[in-house]
Chains A and B, each alone.
Chain A
């Protein structure tokens, strides 16, 4: 028996590891992720590493670009070009400040006109390359951010907080295929569930095939489920497919938020909403 075990040790190890991962997947499929202390610890540790690495890479890219800007400059033009570069840099900085100012004004206006408390946060990391769609923001549990809180922008919904550490939070975007948002069509009030697709679009699931939906209709959060406040824009209808059979129709929507250009977001700190979410969850259990 021992000889047999030692003979097939590697195959058995492979089988055990694969089974372990399958068990993990099966346990998590269909339910929302729970936050574990070890996940928060790992997340905090790597987020600091990531922030350091991002700064280093941004610096390196800057040095690399500056080098290529100046490497072919002739000696007699060096002083002049440096001056121009300096002025351009200043101008660029001013333009950057102006754009930031505009952005912050919009955000401030958005923050002032909402009935729920909003916590501003900056995006410090993005993960769009792999099969998941997440952001890392620089506000964590010390600022009162909790798992499940909604994350929004003036244009619409960004996603929900998946994991928090002391200073950072991982946000699952609405583009992620694991994300589900109860939604309504603004014009006809037809209800469905919006979830992400890997093609950077979202789709509406469980939308009655008789419901009136046309391209260009706005899709809003319905407020059900206790995560997202009611009436926030999710996106606009991009295409509608109706098969000859089945109970539902397939609707693809374009998200209102351009995630590739997202720099600042708001975390919705609505205690009443999270209490409502907890109440629903306990009722389901």
Chain B
């Protein structure tokens, strides 16, 4: 995908993440930005991962009123780590994606806690681990791995159709 449409498409994820998920009648601690950044890093390499993460993270910081730079830092790191995972253990297996997303979400959560500790507020680990970090890691892993599975399958089908069309 060309850079501008890609940028516009991923930008749409920010209002969805910040405001729309809060409209759901149940608590759904999904980090959509993390999933998109993971996808970009894991399948498209370090540059795409880092810049997608930095851009979406900065937008999230600006629009959610968080300390400017927090999400930018975390998501840049996420994009890079995802690319490292993609380089080292690239797999199309749903379970592997689930596990990697879970690990990355946990890293993201702990770093978030650390940055909060560093710049704002000391939050005991037990207060953040059970109500925030673990549920977010689970939902990110579940939603993210399904999203990757479906989008890869869709891309594969589309490629197959295009190939058939060219042959005919």
List residues of chain A with CB under 8 Å of any chain B CB.
10, 13-14, 17-18, 20-29, 33, 39, 42-43, 46-47, 49-50, 53-54, 57-58, 61, 125-132, 134, 136, 162-163, 170, 172, 176-178, 195, 197-199
B: contact size bracket = 35 or more
Contact of A199 among B30, B69, B77, B127 (CB under 8 A): B127
The answer to whether A49 and B12 touch across the interface, beta carbons within 8 angstroms, is yes
Q: Which of B11-69 contact A (CB under 8 A)?
A: 12, 14-23, 25, 27-31, 46-47, 50, 54, 57-69
The answer to whether B76 and A21 touch across the interface, beta carbons within 8 angstroms, is yes
The answer to whether A130 and B120 touch across the interface, beta carbons within 8 angstroms, is no
Interface centre among A42, A61, A131, A178 (most CB of B within 10 A): A131
The answer to whether A22 and B18 touch across the interface, beta carbons within 8 angstroms, is no
The answer to whether B62 and A43 touch across the interface, beta carbons within 8 angstroms, is yes
Question: Which residues of A lie under 8 Å from residue B19 when comparing CB positions?
Answer: 50, 53-54, 125-127, 136
The answer to whether B70 and A53 touch across the interface, beta carbons within 8 angstroms, is no
Contact of A17 among B14, B76, B116 (CB under 8 A): B76
The answer to whether A22 and B69 touch across the interface, beta carbons within 8 angstroms, is yes
Contact of B69 among A23, A131, A134 (CB under 8 A): A23
The answer to whether A195 and B121 touch across the interface, beta carbons within 8 angstroms, is yes
Contact of B63 among A24, A28, A43, A128 (CB under 8 A): A43
Question: Which residues of A lie under 8 Å from residue B7 when comparing CB positions?
Answer: none
Q: Complex Cα distance A126/B29, Å? A: 14
What is the distance, in angstroms, from A98's C-beta to the closest C-beta of chain B?
22
Contact of B59 among A42, A47, A53, A61 (CB under 8 A): A42
Contact of B21 among A129, A177, A198 (CB under 8 A): A129
CB contact under 8 A between A18 and B21, given known A46-B63, A134-B64: no
The answer to whether B72 and A132 touch across the interface, beta carbons within 8 angstroms, is no
